[in-house]
Copies of this chain bind each other. A is one copy, B any other.
């Protein structure tokens, strides 16, 4: 386990505390498990974290307390941590904690707190006559998570590199007559063997016509000669996700399969070549999209070119078309995301090629380095 050190956590806390200062907040309530993990190394699926100017309050129930005690005795202890027991309701425990530590202006994450939860907090605070004002905040932790620190880069690099150990078993399993579901089982068992603690998302094995559905998973269809097969999978290592797609051909590809494959491969290369600090994320998307449009496949590419990777398998930055409701994002060193153009042709099938990249000072490092030429199996 290569967990972030106490010093790395302290730097993350410092960034959040700058935001507290700027926004005149006494504390921030943090609720998503990945944001909690980012700030505390607590990896449980339940918990509420309250970060103040000088402490980190972690509210967790019985199930996780033993693990947190072990963590606090290690080199990855969370600095300034105070653990609060949650005997029954997390919501009750939160209000109790806020009242006891005496904070007045408290931020919450508007993108993660539901209307029902917010209502309950507000009414309970009012009902008990507490002097606490809740303030909506946006992306304070996500903004920090956007640029990976050294410990995160090391883990993401390791996570991506291990996919090379997975691929040989996968390619052995892909053959005529084998079902998509069996291949998915081989992929997932190989990921475990490679040391991933779990799969990052439902494995996709989409063969023949099924490959025309970008989010098809894996079904009972058996592979046939002439199929293109999209294999999309990833694992989680020490909390961090990797994500890879390769498309292979069962027997010699048709002329059309070759044409579509080459277009997607070239779109992928064009997007990778466009990555460097300062460039807008939408320019990476445009590099892939323009190439596919020029090859007559503009309509066949209906999704974005990529998504950020980290503690979540889909996080910032979004690599897609510019959107009126979202501010543009310029790439910066330390960002990690996928590049995954594709083409989907109903009735025919589909192709997708996906790698994970890290933005460096001058361009990018490909974290996944498996060959991108069309393999015929």
Which residues on A are within 8 Å of B, measured CB to CB? 44-45, 61-64, 66-67, 88-89, 91-92, 108, 110-120, 136, 138, 181-182, 184-186, 188-189, 192-193, 195, 197-199, 202-203, 212-218, 302-303, 321, 323-325, 344, 346
Contact = CB atoms under 8 A, between A and B. Distances in A.
11 contacts: A45-B215, A61-B303, A63-B213, A66-B346, A89-B325, A114-B114, A115-B115, A181-B192, A181-B197, A184-B192, A185-B192
Contact of A185 (B66, B67, B91, B189): B189
A315 B303 CA distance: 32
Given A111-B114, A114-B115, A62 B303 contact: yes
Number of copies: 2
A91 B115 CA distance: 16
A23 B217 CA distance: 38
Given A110-B114, A114-B111, A115-B113, A91 B192 contact: no
Contact of A88 (B117, B212, B321): B321
Contact of A66 (B66, B91, B212): B212
A82 B218 CA distance: 26
| Among A91, A197, A203, A321, residue most surrounded by chain B Cβ atoms (within 10 Å) | A197
A91 B325 contact: yes
